[in-house]
Amino acid sequence: MAQLIGLVIAGAAGFWVFNDANSRGMNPWAWAIFTFLLLIIGLPVYLITRKPKIDGED
């Protein structure tokens, strides 16, 4: 059961990173896969290195 919860959390984080990276003009697939596979490393690295949002988008 704990493994399933971990997969759901990693999947949700990967989905959020994909959408956020896409809105910022970054490579969404690379960041989403990196975050899904190595959540504890990928998510903080993404949050530190992400670009500002593209003008005109929320």
For the chain, the average pLDDT equals 93
Q: Where exactly are the structural domains of the chain?
A: 2-49
Token readout for 49 is: 């290195």
**What's this model's pTM, rounded to 2 decimal places?**
0.87
Kindly give the residue spans of alpha helices, DSSP state H, lying in 1-58. Answer: 2-23, 28-37, 39-49
Beta carbons of 50 and 24 less than 8 angstroms apart? yes
Q: How many whole angstroms separate alpha carbon 24 and alpha carbon 11?
A: 20
pLDDT of residue 23: 93
Confidence of residue 53 (pLDDT cuts 50, 70, 90): confident
CA quadruple 50, 16, 45, 29: dihedral sign: negative
